[in-house]
Amino acid sequence: MNFSPKNSSGPSMKARSREALNGQLPNDIGLLPGTFVRPLWRDLPSVFQSPRERWQVEWAWIRSSFQNLMGLIIYCKKDNTFPLLLRERRKIARLLYDDMYTAFARVVRGDSSGLRRLCGDGLSKTLLKQIESRPYNQKVSWKLVKWIRGPSTCFTGIRVMSDRATSLPEIANSGIRQIVLRVTSRQSMSKSTPPSRERTPGGTEVEAPTKEQNCEEYVVIQEIRWNGISSGWRVWGYTKPTDLETLNSDPYFAPGLSPMERIDAMRKTMGGDQ
């Protein structure tokens, strides 16, 4: 197909800046400290047998929800002019989730551009290692059968568990936003191997039975902005619900600490005193 480009002047300054950001600046700086993910109801301490522990979890959830909302408003509206995207969050997550697993199934060895565009550096490396371990001529197909719309996701299939944002110090109009989502779905995957060259031309592919399974995952998506330019939404990786051990050991949640003691403990945990 022969066609003439509509504009031969080349990419815009904004597009070139975005390409530079994607190629030079990091897109994986870890999970934001103090991210609280509420456990499932069945995993919470009993109200009657462990009321103190239950209140500790509930209070951490209430406090973190309020702090996250205030931090998000300050990040988007007070310090910058970024969109809140409160209604669009789950739609963004749905598209990323589907695109990531579809690319993971279809990508071949040596072709990492699709996954790196959709995932952070750490997750990309993990997925590419799994791809390299496949048989060379194996074909993989993945399909999202349906979203499981149960109580754990408020009957939507995807529930926002945490939405946090923070500006980057000393860099104007820059910051990171991370959203943790509980995702419940039914997925199917099939594998097939084409006939080898030694076989006759009439050979057929060897196809393994299609497997279906229900999945519950805690997926983290993020957007990083540098000087007002978004590097795009990506899947950072996976996390798990916050347990009592974390609430008691993590300086961000541990009870009985003054603000200064909490800050000092967090610095030591992150290696800031070295």
Which structural domain, as residue segments, surrounds residue 125?
A: 45-188+214-244
Examine the pLDDT at 20 and tell me if it is beyond 60. no
Q: Residue 11: what pLDDT?
A: 46
Instruction: Give dist(CA 157, CA 187) in Å, integer.
Output: 13
Q: Residue 197: what pLDDT?
A: 56
Q: Mean of the per-residue pLDDT values for the chain?
A: 83
The answer as to whether 173 is a domain residue is yes
The answer as to whether 64 is a domain residue is yes
The answer as to whether 254 is a domain residue is no
- Mean of pLDDT values over 152-168: 95
Q: Residue 208: what pLDDT?
A: 67
* HEC profile of the chain: CCCCCCCCCCCCHHHHHHHHHHHHCCCCCCCCCCCCCCCCHHHCCCCCCCHHHHHHHHHHHHHHHHHHHHHHHHHHHHCCCCCCCCCCHHHHHHHHHHHHHHHHHHCCCCCCHHHHHHECHHHHHHHHHHHHCCCCCCEEEEEEEEECCCHHHCCCCEEEEEEEEEECCCCCCCEEEEEEEEEEEEEEEEEEECCCCCCCCCCCCEECCCEEEEEEEEEEEEEEEECCEEEEEEEEEECCCCCHHHHHHCCCCCCCCCHHHHHHHHHHHCCCCC
The answer as to whether 171 is a domain residue is yes
Give 263's pLDDT tier (boundaries 50, 70, 90): low
The answer as to whether 110 is a domain residue is yes
Instruction: Give the number of domains in the chain.
Output: 1
Q: Residue 273: what pLDDT?
A: 43
Instruction: Give dist(CA 70, CA 88) in Å, integer.
Output: 19
pLDDT single digits (tens) 195-230:
665 554 555 666 667 889 999 999 999 999 988 889
The answer as to whether 19 is a domain residue is no
pLDDT single digits (tens) 30-71:
899 899 999 999 999 999 999 999 999 999 999 999 999 999
The answer as to whether 255 is a domain residue is no
Q: Residue 272: what pLDDT?
A: 46
Q: What percent of the chain has pLDDT over 70?
A: 78
Examine the pLDDT at 264 and tell me if it is beyond 60. yes
